[in-house]
Structure 1
Amino acid sequence: MSTQTSPTQTVTDERSSLLRLYLSRGVLAVVWALVFAGAHEDVDALAVTLLVVYPLIDAVSSLIDYRAVPEGSERRVTAFNGVLSTLAAIAIGIAGAGGEAAVLHVFGAWAVISGAAQVIVGLRRRGAELGRQWPTLISGGLSFVVGISYNIQAAGDNPSLDVLAVYATGGGVWFILQALLLGRKSRQLRASTV
């Protein structure tokens, strides 16, 4: 007896998986931002640990996403982003010894590259089945631009890690919004098939 999955079921499963992933990723980012906002007065062990955890959340999310999407270029970009985020976590941990400017440089470089990867994935998922991906595209584009500004700020006289809590909050809100839009799309498609 064959247990082949129909293309419609595959898209429905992917949409459901992405909805859970985006919602979890968004909530974790907002929680991280709240904790980090009160814990980064100094670049001490707690702050560095939190700074390392943030890209690791992205790396784990990329792994989950990688396992949920079919073979193809989107999957390769997702794998790249997971590896990039893992390397960013290691680099941020090392940069923590150099203070705020070093951390901001590494975080900014990661934000630029991962933002570009997020835009690429969002463009590949723009089909009607997975929604138009506007929150993902906007979030990735903002990450790219903000990452550049972090590197400019890090080279200046008064670098501050305060901006990272704002970055994480913004990213979290965009992920949650994308999850809500996917949920709405799922309800619309279920209603149209009834």
Structure 2
Amino acid sequence: MTNQTDQVLSSHTWLKSYYFTRFAVSAAWVLLAFAVARTIPPLAAIMLVAYPAWDALANFIDAQRTGGLNRNKTQLLNFIISVITTVAVAVAMGKSMNAVLAVFGVWAVLSGLFQLATAIRRWKSGAQWAMVLSGAQSALAGIFFVKMAGGAETIDITNVAPYAAFGAFYFLVSAVWLTVSDARRRPAQAVR
């Protein structure tokens, strides 16, 4: 294998691990939200605060693995907005679930745009088309959340869970896409 191929495979190894982990955590969050948290408000509150906190941590770790926060400005911004959102969700919990959903909406718009920008920057890494779709869909979902938060509908954790489910799906698609891409690349390199 060439050095360039080795670098691509090394980059893919990290991204596959990262995307599979993001999928697993998001999928577990969604299952817990629908199965248990919707009937246990204290658990739902903890999960709603933990969701942006996890996103902040994941962005921080990914940026550190790929050159640091100074080199990855979109992830730095995503990290910052996710930390702020974690605090804002905790504060909004004292007001209403509509306030929580509004905070999630603003966060979904901003983090979606930062995710989209990160995916465009990483385009050559492969499988970023799913992350572009995920970022765009996140931004659109955020607008929907803000609109819904202003209505009279009863809001609970299950209003956020489908958003997390779509995120999990896109992370899984990217991880599988990179896995298949790497599997195809290895035999092609072995022939050379």
The question of a shared fold, defined as TM-score above 0.5 by the shorter chain, is answered with: yes
8 Å CA contact retained: 1:74, 1:124: no
Moved more, 95-104 or 160-169: 160-169
Judge conservation of contact 2:127–2:174 (CA < 8 Å) in 1. no
Aligned residues: 186
Say whether 1:27 aligns with 2:24.
yes
Q: Does 1:149 align with 2:147?
A: no
| Equivalent position to 1:109, from 102, 106, 110 | 106
CA deviations 1:59-110 (Å, max 9, x no partner) are: 1111121012136986111121112111111111111111111000000100
After alignment, is 11-20 or 135-144 more displaced? 11-20
Q: Deviations over 1:101-138 (max 9, x none)?
A: 100000010000000001101111111xx214121111
TM-score by length of 2: 0.90
Once the two structures are superposed, the pairs formed by residues 31-180 of structure 1 within 5 Å of their partners are 31-37=28-34, 38-41=36-39, 44-70=41-67, 75-127=72-124, 130-161=125-156, 162-180=158-176
Ranges in structure 1 where 5+ consecutive residues have no aligned partner:
1-5
Say if 1:100 and 1:160, in contact at 8 Å, map to a contact too: yes
Q: TM-score, normalised by structure 1?
A: 0.89
Q: Per-residue deviation at 1:170?
A: 1.0
Q: Secondary structure at the match of 1:32?
A: helix
Identity of aligned residues (%): 29
The Cα shift of 1:142 comes to: 0.5
Gaps of 5+ in 2: none
> What's the CA shift for 1:163?
2.0
The answer to whether the 8 A contact 1:74-1:121 is kept is no
Q: CA RMSD in A?
A: 1.8
Tell me what 2:180 maps to.
184
